[in-house]
């Protein structure tokens, strides 16, 4: 459904993505892991149009999307969340989600409709008690929920989730895992998730890609990947 | 419709009716410029307040339109009534031409870049004195259709109308999908793109609206003063005044620039008449400092949030340990 | 003069001017780096330095070097006032995202106030430092054939360079300097490591004001001045900071040089009808060289939005 071939991205002298191929199956939850600096967020930025690859192409449902702008890619059905949350601080929770409802694929036109429509997503993420709270007053967990709700309101087919578990305690992690599973099972959205928290990855993903220095060093089911020698070497060092 | 907007329209109507009454001339004169600046500030606010792109160079468009109207009258005798709307259109074109490249700049750099625009325009004007009459300025700018004795009242009405139009535009923008998009851009442009907002398109649209209204203001201003020069048209005042008014009145609201505009302009007039020469700059500067400290969100902004009480409580926003510091 | 000689002269003049620009830039850059404050009053404070220098020299006949050094403690005080009265209150009361703008506005108000006070005391006439009061610092120009370097120009440049060198030494070799650099780079971390941010900011403001005064004095050694004249130097300071990027003394110096040299080159090379001076009307006290500077600035901003040597963020 979403694939990339021969992707290269350099920043000055640093090659962040080095001849990378990837393939995301529809309806699956695919994980992307790797040490810090291995290029995970860069890949997300490439897919969603924030960076242009120096080489290679990215295709979505068979159509090339390389070089398109973020809002265009969004309208085609790919949404992303941000590692460091990016709420619209001057707005309330509802207004935040309403922006996505207005400018996402739902393409609503009136504020009234947008606010009405947003309720559904706010509830899905468990933020009902905070609908009229200004975003600047939310806790980190609530902000992450908001980020997800806003992404959902754009009616995506594919959702790119960037390190959403960072900073959550174990029970919050479990809650988040549940929500993500529901996104796939109830809404049919394909998920591509970057994560460090192993517990979450093992729990959720059908398929995992491992990145190191911009290259793919392993791929497979969570168990396969966890036991593959290159991965062990990268995370634990050579014996 | 919001209650305060209804109230505003009614007040505007009443103010308009005053023209029939035999009020003293200075009443019309004093309020005329106040209304003009209030409307001009409102139009600035669309780009500077809602979208968050603090332009310090709107004076460039203001002066450009003023000169356009003045010169066409001077050289070809074209009536300002015709050229003022054209001036607005000209400003749209220039706003787009300048807007596209400068839009990429981050807030602070955008402010600096726009700051240089009126200076450059002023320099160009002075450099071609054959066309623009250079540093001497252009005089005798009149809308001949307006009878001389009725000038105060008529300009009062014109600017009142202008202010009402700008306020209505801002009010409608604020409530629309477009307005939400602009505020999203202001809060976080990257996130806005991620929500599907075509930031470039929205910004250009904001520039167009703001540019047109600014051009109208500039065009009329020249005919009101009957004289413009590079320093009045492209000096620092037409660029900085709408900014101050919007910020001190409240950037996030439609009412802010209106209140800020009227109050600040009346204040400015009062100060220039009461205190001699240089002293009024001192007072103005002092007021600016005090207002920025006491009313960071503008007067209207703080009233809305019910924060007037907090103004007295100095440590409300103390942010040692604030988690969202950037 | 041959073309080459004219060019060399132009470049030399550009270097002299660039040094002054750079000097204006460092104080601004310091405050911007440490506190994220775009101090619009920087130029005005520089002019306080100018006028104090002028006053000490002409009214009291004080030795020129003393006149440069004596006001320094005063500028520390000015820095304290600036911080305690304006910057800190604004920081405390304003939302983080509004801070930049509020700081800009309030310092702009301050610059208006300073400008009017200077006008009250010294009037609006254009003044210069009489070379007689410079006593032993007055020298003759150095000449290489037809090319000359004015002694005032050299004085300005030396003052500018000394300030920069001293600042650099302070920032790299002293404990306080290290603290300032830490806060500029990573406020939270520095705080976690025990730095008292408020005090660091206070110190940085004081130093920035001293640097501003040095820039003002350096400028006055070569150029004429009047109360409203600070505006264009202020803008040039911002240009230099933007060109040179942050946190880089070298970048600042280069930025200043580029600005100074390009201005002069443009003035020399462009056809003469472009270089007619404006009459000095109070709100538009500019010459065409300033327009060139702004155009260069605009072009560079558009090509490279993060400044020439800056780390874009």
User: Which of B126, B286, B307 is most worth mutating to test chain C (most C CB atoms within 10 A of its CB)?
Assistant: B126
Q: Do A199 and A223 contact (CB within 8 A), yes or no?
A: no
- Per the structure, the count of domains in chain C is 1
The pLDDT assigned to B132 comes to 73
Residue C80 within a domain: yes
Total residue count of chain C as it appears in this document:
313
Q: Is residue A135 domain-shared with residue A194, that is, in the same domain?
A: no
Which residues span the domain enclosing C35?
24-138+145-225
Q: Flag residues of chain C having pLDDT under 70.
A: 1, 137, 245-248, 270-288, 304-313
Which residue in the set B112, B296, B326 is minimally distant from C238, CB to CB? B112
State whether A137 and A163 are in the same domain: no
Closest CB to B195 among A69, A72, A104: A104
A49 plus A160 within the same structural domain: yes
State the pLDDT at residue C271. 59
Q: In the prediction, which pLDDT does A58 show?
A: 92
Report residues of chain A scoring pLDDT below 50: 239
Would you call B281 and C110 a contact, using CB atoms and an 8 Å cutoff?
no
Contact A150 B176 (CB under 8 A): no
Check residue C1 and give its pLDDT: 64
Dihedral over Cα of C7, C8, C14, C17: its sign = negative
The verdict on A45 and A19 lying in the same domain is yes
Minimum distance, in Å, between the CA of residue A223 and any CA atom of chain B: 33
A110 with A15, same domain? no
pLDDT for B235 equals 77
φ, ψ for residue C215 (rounded to 5)? Answer: -65, -40
Q: Alpha-carbon distance B121 to C242, whole Å? A: 22
User: Which pLDDT score is estimated for B216?
Assistant: 93
In a shared domain, residues A204 and A215 = yes
pTM, to two decimals:
0.85
Stretch 219-238 of chain B: residues touching chain C, C-beta under 8 Å: 229-231, 234-237
Residues A93, A107 within the same domain: yes
Do B187 and A90 count as a contact with CB atoms less than 8 A apart? yes
pLDDT tens, position by position, C223-268:
888 888 888 898 889 888 888 766 667 778 888 888 888 888 877 7
Asked whether residue A28 falls in the same domain as residue A70, the answer is yes
Identify which of C89, C290, C302 has the shortest CB distance to residue B293. C89
Q: First vs last Cα of chain A: how many Å apart?
A: 39
Task: Please report whether residue C121 resides in a domain.
Answer: yes
The alpha carbon of residue B318 is apart from the nearest alpha carbon of chain C, in Å, by 5
Share of chain B above pLDDT 70, in %: 92
Burial of C146 (0-12, 13-18, 19+ CB in 10 A): exposed
Closest CA to C301 of C251, C234, C238: C238
Which chain A residues touch B194 with a CB distance below 8 Å? 48, 70, 74, 79-80, 82, 86
- Which pLDDT score, from 0 to 100, does residue B159 have? 94
> Which residues of chain C does B288 touch, with a Cβ-Cβ cutoff of 8 Å?
105-106, 108-109, 112
Residue B42 has pLDDT above 90, yes or no: yes
Give the model confidence (pLDDT) of B49-106 as tens digits: 898 888 888 999 999 999 998 888 888 888 888 888 999 999 999 999 988 888 888 7
Torsion sign (Cα): B264, B109, C260, C296: negative
Give a yes or no: residue C271 inside a domain: no
Average pLDDT on B307-314 reads 49
Domain match, A219 and A106 both: no
Domain boundary among A130, A155, A180: A155
What integer best gives the mean pLDDT of chain B?
83
Is A102 in contact with B181 (Cβ distance < 8 A)? yes
Question: Domain with A220 in it: what CATH number?
Answer: 3.40.50.300
Q: Which residue range(s) make up the domain with A125?
A: 84-155
| Neighboring chains of A (3 or more beta-carbon pairs < 8 A) | B
Task: Report the residue from B120, B285, B314 with minimal CB separation from C294.
Answer: B120
Is position C178 within any domain? yes
Same structural domain, A37 and A151? no
Interface residue A100 vs chain B (CB under 8 A): yes
Task: Please tell me the total number of residues recorded for chain B in this structure.
Answer: 326
Q: Which domains does chain B have, with CATH numbers?
A: 3-312 (1.10.3470)
Question: Among the three residues A125, A155, A185, which one is the final residue of a domain in this structure?
Answer: A155
Give me the mean pLDDT over the B98-116 stretch: 82
Task: Name which residue leads in pLDDT, C236 or B127.
Answer: C236
Chain C residues 282-311 within an 8 A CB cutoff of chain B: 282-284, 286, 288, 290-291, 294-295, 297-298, 301-302, 305
User: Is the domain of A73 the same as that of A169?
Assistant: yes
Q: Average model confidence (pLDDT) for chain C?
A: 81
What is the number of domains present in chain A? Answer: 2
Q: Is the confidence at residue B276, as pLDDT, over 90? A: no
Angle at B57 between CA C46 and CA B70, to 5 degrees: 120
Do A160 and A147 belong together in one domain?
no
Domain end, chosen from A109, A133, A155, is at A155
Angle CA C222–C225–C226, to nearest 5 = 175
In a domain, C74, yes or no: yes
């Amino acid at each position: 459904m979403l694939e990339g071939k021969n992707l290269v991205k350099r920043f000055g002298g640093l090659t962040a993505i080095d001849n990378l191929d990837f393939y995301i199956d529809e309806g699956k939850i695919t994980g992307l892991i790797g040490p810090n600096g291995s290029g995970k967020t860069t890949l997300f930025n490439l897919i969603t149009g924030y960076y242009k690859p120096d080489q290679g192409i990215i295709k979505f449902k068979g159509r090339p999307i390389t070089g398109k702008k973020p809002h265009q890619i969004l309208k085609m059905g790919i949404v992303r969340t941000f590692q460091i949350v990016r709420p619209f601080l001057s707005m309330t929770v509802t207004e935040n989600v309403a922006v996505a409802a207005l400018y996402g694929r739902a393409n609503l036109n009136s504020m009234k409709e947008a606010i009405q429509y947003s309720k559904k997503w706010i509830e899905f993420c468990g933020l009902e008690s905070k609908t009229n709270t200004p975003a600047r007053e939310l806790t980190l967990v609530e902000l992450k929920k908001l980020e997800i709700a806003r992404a959902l309101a754009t009616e995506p087919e594919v959702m790119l989730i960037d390190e959403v578990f960072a900073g959550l305690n174990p029970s919050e992690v479990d809650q988040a895992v549940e929500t993500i599973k529901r996104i796939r099972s109830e809404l049919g959205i394909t998920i591509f998730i970057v994560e460090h928290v192993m517990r979450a990855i093992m729990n959720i993903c059908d398929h995992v890609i491992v990145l190191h220095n911009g290259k793919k060093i392993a791929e497979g089911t969570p168990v396969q990947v966890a036991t593959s020698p290159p991965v062990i070497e990268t995370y634990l060092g050579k014996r | 419709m919001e209650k305060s907007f209804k109230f505003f329209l009614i007040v505007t109507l009443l103010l308009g009716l005053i023209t029939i009454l035999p009020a003293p001339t200075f009443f019309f004169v004093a309020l005329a410029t106040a209304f003009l600046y209030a409307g001009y500030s409102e139009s600035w606010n669309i780009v500077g307040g809602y979208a968050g792109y603090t332009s310090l160079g709107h004076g460039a468009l203001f002066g450009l339109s003023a000169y356009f109207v003045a010169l066409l009258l001077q050289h070809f005798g074209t009536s300002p009534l015709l050229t003022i709307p054209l001036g607005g259109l000209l400003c749209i074109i220039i706003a787009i031409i300048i807007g596209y490249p400068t839009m990429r700049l981050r807030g602070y750099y955008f402010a600096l870049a726009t700051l240089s625009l009126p200076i450059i325009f002023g320099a160009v004007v002075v450099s071609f004195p054959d066309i623009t009459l250079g540093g001497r300025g252009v005089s005798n700018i009149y809308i001949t259709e307006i009878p001389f004795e009725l000038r105060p009242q008529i300009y009062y009405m014109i600017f009142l109308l202008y202010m009402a139009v700008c306020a209505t535009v801002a009010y409608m923008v604020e409530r629309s999908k477009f307005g939400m998009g602009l505020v999203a851009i202001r809060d976080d442009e990257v996130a806005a793109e991620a929500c599907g907002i075509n930031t470039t398109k929205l910004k250009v649209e904001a520039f167009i609206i703001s540019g047109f209204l600014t051009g109208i203001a500039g065009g009329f201003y020249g005919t009101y003063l009957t004289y413009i020069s590079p320093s009045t048209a492209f000096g620092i005042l037409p660029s900085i005044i709408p900014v101050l008014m919007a910020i001190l009145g409240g950037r996030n609201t439609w009412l802010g620039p209106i209140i800020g505009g009227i109050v600040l302009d009346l204040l400015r007039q009062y100060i220039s008449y009461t205190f001699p020469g240089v002293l009024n700059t001192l007072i103005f500067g002092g007021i600016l400092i005090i207002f920025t400290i006491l009313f960071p969100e503008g007067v209207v902004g703080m009233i809305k949030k019910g924060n007037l009480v907090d103004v007295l409580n100095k440590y409300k926003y103390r942010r040692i340990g604030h988690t969202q510091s950037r | 003069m041959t073309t080459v000689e004219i060019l060399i002269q132009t470049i030399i003049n550009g270097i002299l001017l660039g040094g002054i620009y750079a000097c204006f830039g460092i104080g601004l850059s310091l405050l911007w780096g440490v506190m994220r404050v775009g101090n619009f009053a920087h130029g005005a404070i520089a002019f306080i330095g100018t006028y104090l220098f002028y006053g000490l020299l002409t009214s009291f006949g004080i030795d020129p070097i003393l006149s440069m050094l004596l006001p320094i403690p005063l500028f520390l005080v000015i820095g304290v006032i600036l911080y305690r009265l304006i910057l800190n209150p604004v920081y405390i009361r304003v939302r983080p995202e509004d801070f930049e703008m509020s700081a800009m506005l309030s310092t702009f108000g301050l610059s208006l106030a300073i400008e009017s006070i200077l006008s009250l005391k010294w009037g609006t006439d254009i003044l210069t430092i009489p070379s007689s009061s410079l006593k032993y610092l007055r020298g003759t120009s150095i000449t290489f054939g037809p090319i000359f370097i004015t002694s005032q120009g050299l004085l300005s440049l030396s003052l500018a360079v000394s300030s920069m060198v001293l600042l650099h030494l302070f920032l790299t070799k002293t404990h306080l300097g290290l603290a300032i650099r830490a806060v500029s780079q990573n406020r939270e971390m520095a705080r976690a490591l025990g730095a008292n941010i408020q005090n660091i900011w206070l110190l940085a403001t004081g130093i920035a004001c001293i640097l501003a005064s040095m820039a003002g004095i350096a400028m006055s050694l070569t150029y004429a001045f009047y109360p409203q004249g600070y505006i264009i130097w202020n803008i040039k300071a911002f240009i230099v900071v933007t060109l040179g990027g942050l946190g880089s003394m070298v970048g600042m110096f280069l930025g200043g040089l580029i600005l100074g040299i390009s201005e002069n080159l443009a003035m020399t090379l462009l056809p003469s009808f472009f270089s007619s001076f404006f009459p000095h009307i109070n709100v538009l006290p500019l010459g065409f060289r300033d327009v060139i500077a702004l155009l260069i600035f605009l072009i560079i901003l558009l090509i490279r939005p993060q400044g020439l040597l800056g780390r874009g963020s």
